[in-house]
Structure 1
Amino acid sequence: MSYKSIIVNRGIELAERFEAHLIGLAAADVPPLVATGQGMVYEGEVIQIERTEIEKRLAELRAEFENLVPASITSEWGQAVCSPTRFLSVFARAADLIVTGESGDNVFRAVDLGSLALGIGRPVLVTGNNVEHVRAKTVLVAWKDTREARRAVADALPFLAKANEVVVATIAAKGDDSIRDSLDDVAAHLKHHGIRARTELVAGEVDGEQLLTFARSIHADMIVSGAYGHSRLREWAFGGVTRTLIEESSINRFLSY
């Protein structure tokens, strides 16, 4: 089960920073029936054994969570034997922000970040694997004049207000007055909230790797971005930038849809 104590520590740190209530969640599901050469497995007693093991592990995680959270933070715990993505999506109605780590290949043990970001109606902070603390001292706002990007800026205001530096940047092959006006309007909006931001127009084709390269050049420790996707029958197909951000693991990503 993918639920690391470092994620809890990041949640504790953020709860302290924003004087927030902290909700710890863990879930895992029993895999469905699988056909083998000997017939069907994972039925009856086998399913119950698997469920018992999951419940035992969830109890251990609850104890770990309760031991880590200090008395100064109000908190609660939730757990279930079901899809982690579905369970987290349900609990999102009681939260302002979802904090999670990287998704995994096992859908029965890990969150599907794509479905989560595009389906829960709450911002999702995906913490970097090598990031011990979510400092968010230099924040890059990946600006695109869309509903999703506007939503991301509004959702990220608490982080932007506490940052030492905020950079609002757009990548464009050609910079015209409308793009510059758009950037200036975002900076003016943030100024009304007491946030001083500078703007950057990065020349080039819109590309996730170029965005990450620019983020590294300004030593950003968080990227704020709208999540862009198009529905298909069973999953979400992402635009290139969002896909790159989801797959990137070296930086904190704040995604809104």
Structure 2
Amino acid sequence: MSYKTIIVNLAVDSDPMPIIKLATELAQGFDARLIGFAAADVPPLVATDKGMVYEGEIMQVDRREIAERLAELHDSFEKASLSSLWTQYFCGPTRALGLVARSADLILTANGGEDVYRAVDIGSLVLGTGRPVLVAAGNAEHLLGGTVLVAWKDSREARRALADALPLLTKAKKVVVATMEARLGTDVRDSLADVAVFLEQHGIMARTEVIMGEADGDRLVAFARSIHADLIVSGAYGHSRLREWAFGGVTRSLIGESGISRLLSN
């Protein structure tokens, strides 16, 4: 298994160069096709008792600004990467990226933002696209992959994340599979042992660890830092609630983390 097509999301309000360098490095490492992507939109008109708070003329100015920015990002991508494949949308980036994700094995993005018209919502992206999402650490230009931490839980989401991460795990120098448990029992040991055997069948020698205590995102990140992990692989756990996603604590912590790259899958 390998990644044959990678989509890299360039945020309109961020410096594109770090993630373009990272995307180019990944594409070269996997001999993959790289597609540059960018999208943004303006908020819709909103009617209040004082009238329209977002006037049409202002919308036109903002749309021109977005068009200019998309052209700048396209130019930066073409100059810095080995690929000329590019797609852009006048649309909320999360929705647009969900549309193009069907043609990719992996989505690469930086952390999201609060403005849904100009930045991706990482949680919605992971749970809605059906593709693994690699969220790069802040301004990271390289995915070192020296040590990868697999956050294991015997669940569909964790199994999916493990399978989706195999190309990256194969290239890692060290792989640690860790689970967080309040009590250590035979079933926990057996689960970790089965994962280690699964990885070994793919040529990956992994160490297993049990982090004692209830599942906690901060504890997981602290453990990742203690082993100098460059990447955390995790299933994403959440459910839709009135058009919003409600996440478990570990997933919320990983979405908000910015110091370590994360591969999230659902």
Same fold, TM exceeding 0.5?
yes
- Give me the whole-angstrom Cα distance separating, in 1, the residues matched to 2:175 and 2:164: 15
Note the C-alpha offset of 1:38: 5.0
Distance 1:213 1:90 in 2: 35
CA displacement, residues 51-95 of structure 1 (integer Å, 9 cap, x when unaligned): 12211111111111100113xxx4410011110001111010011
Distance 2:59 2:177 in 1: 51
Q: Which runs of 4+ in 1 moved over 6 A?
A: none
1:97 aligns with 2:109: no
Deviation at 1:107, TM superposition (A): 1.0
- Work out whether 1:2 is the aligned partner of 2:13: yes
* Aligned 8 A contact 1:85 1:112 in 2: yes
2:234 corresponds in structure 1 to 225
Checking the alignment, whether the CA contact within 8 Å between 1:21 and 1:75 is kept in structure 2 is no
Residue 250 of structure 1 corresponds to: 259
Q: TM-score, normalised by structure 1?
A: 0.95
- 1:136-181 Cα deviation digits (max 9, x unpaired): 1100000000000000000000000000000001010111000110
| Percent of matched pairs sharing the same residue | 62
SS of 1:250's partner is coil
- Farther off after superposition, 110-119 or 39-48: 39-48
Which of residues 147, 157, 164 in structure 2 aligns to 1:148?
157
Q: Partner amino acid for 2:195?
A: V
TM-score normalised by length of structure 2: 0.92
User: Quick one: which amino acid aligns to residue 135 of structure 2?
Assistant: V
Give me the whole-angstrom Cα distance separating, in 1, the residues matched to 2:97 and 2:239: 22
Secondary structure, aligned partner of 1:128? coil
Measured after TM superposition, the shift of residue 42 of structure 1 is 2.9
**SS of 2:214 mapped into structure 1:** coil
Q: Does 1:215 align with 2:227?
A: no
Where does residue 60 of structure 1 map in the other structure?
Answer: 72
**In 2: Cα distance, 1:132 partner to 1:28 partner:** 23
Distance 1:130 1:45, change over 3 A: closer
Matches within 5 A, 1:175-194: 175-194=184-203
Distance 1:17 1:75 in 2: 18
- The 2-side partners of 1:59 and 1:131 are apart by 23
Q: CA deviation digits over 1:200-233, x for unaligned, max 9?
A: 0111111001101111111111000000002211
Corresponding residue for residue 211 of structure 2: 202
CA contact (8 A) 2:22 2:140 kept: no
5+ residue gaps, structure 1, are: none
Q: Give the counterpart letter for 2:64 in structure 1.
A: T
Match of 2:4 in 1: none
The answer to whether the Cα contact below 8 Å between 2:145 and 2:230 also exists between their aligned partners in 1 is yes
1:39 deviates by 2.4
Which residue of 1 is the match for residue 42 of structure 2? 30
Number of positions where the alignment pairs a residue of Structure 1 with one of Structure 2: 254
Question: What SS is found at the alignment partner of 1:107?
Answer: coil
**Aligned counterpart, 1:51:** 63
Distance (whole Å) between structure 1 residues aligned to residue 65 and residue 257 of structure 2: 32
Amino acid at match of 1:190: L
Does structure 2 retain, via aligned residues, the 8 Å contact 1:140–1:222? Answer: yes
1:154 alignment partner, SS class: helix
CA contact (8 A) 1:131 1:251 kept: no
Are residues 1:18 and 2:27 paired?
Answer: no
Q: Which moved more, 1:203-212 or 1:130-139?
A: 130-139
> How many angstroms does 1:131 deviate by?
2.9
Which residue type is aligned with residue 12 of structure 1? T
